Amino acid sequence: MWAVQSDSSQLKRHDLHQTVTTLVGIVSVLLVAAGLFYTNAANRAQQKLAEQGQVTDRFGTAIDQLGSGNLDVRLGGVYALERLMHDASGDEANIIEVLSAYIRDHTGNSAALSQPTTSPAPPHPSTDVQAALTVLGRRPDPASHVRIDLTWADLTGADLTVANLAHADLREADLAGGYLRSTDLVGAALRNADLTGAYLRYADLAGAYLRYDNLTSANLRSANLAGANLSGAKLTGVKLTGANLTNVRWPSYATVPQGWARDGDSGLLRRTSKRS
């Protein structure tokens, strides 16, 4: 009887020992895992801080380049900001604001005041300004950053082919002679803009605000102007063959394009035939 009880006690001690050993092993594994987790988390945090520091350094360097008196250096700054937009999406909005301000400051009223009054206006933007425009027009996430501010900018003769400037603010901008083939200007604010002789074939101007614009001799063939506001606009010699003018707010003094009729109350155009 005593031998049976002794064997039972030894068995229980053995089971308890195994249980304790197992628990110790599990706890050890958990502690090691927790240590690795927190170490990795700390490493990730340090890596993120290092990356943010690199982004800040790259941003600062690019800004310094934009202020250079050397054209090649300024171009380097523009394209450095473009690379940064792709590498650090969280800074895209700030970079867009910087490039927009750069364009305004180098083409708008402040730039004009700094030039001799006898200097003729250039037929197209400077190389660095054109580069900044191109970068803005092909930004990585155009759907998220749409309110580009180019008010009062002198963009005479600018090449904005297939640029995405949807909902951009281009009030009082000078786009005379500009090349805007297939440019996205959906919902853009263009009040008092000068588009004299601009090439806008296949451009998308749906819902754009073109009130009081100068569209003299502009080429808008096959452009989409559905819902655009052209009241008060100068339309002498404007080319509209094949353009979509559905619900365009048309000025009462202007000749209505062939194939369209103007509603006398609303001023909106409606199609009357397949040809326009």
CATH of the domain at 263: 2.160.20.80
Domain that holds residue 185: 146-276
The whole-number pLDDT of residue 122 equals 57
Question: At residue 271, what are phi and psi to the nearest 5 degrees?
Answer: -75, 140
Q: Identify whether 121 is part of a domain.
A: no
Task: Establish if 151 belongs to a structural domain.
Answer: yes
pTM: 0.78
**Exposure b/e, 130-143, CB count within 10 A at least 16 = b:** bbbbbbbbebeebe
Give domain status of residue 178, yes or no.
yes
Return the H-helix or E-strand segment holding 261.
Answer: strand 260-262
Packing angle, helices 92-107 and 127-137, rounded to 10: 150
Residue 239 lies in a domain: yes
The per-residue pLDDT for 113 is 42
Overall number of domains in the chain: 1
**pLDDT by residue, tens only, the chain of 276 residues:** 545 555 566 656 666 667 767 767 677 777 676 666 666 655 565 656 555 667 789 999 999 999 999 999 999 999 999 999 999 888 999 999 999 999 999 997 544 444 444 455 558 899 999 999 999 999 998 888 878 999 999 999 999 999 999 999 999 999 999 999 999 999 999 999 999 999 999 999 999 999 999 999 999 999 999 999 999 999 999 999 999 999 999 999 999 999 999 999 999 999 997 655
DSSP 2-48: HHHHHHHHHHHHHHHHHHHHHHHHHHHHHHHHHHHHHHHHHHHHHHH
Residue 266 lies in a domain: yes
Q: Give a yes or no: residue 140 inside a domain.
A: no
pLDDT digits (tens, 9 = 90+) for 97-106: 999 999 999 9
E-assigned strands of 135-252? none
Output the pLDDT for position 147.
85
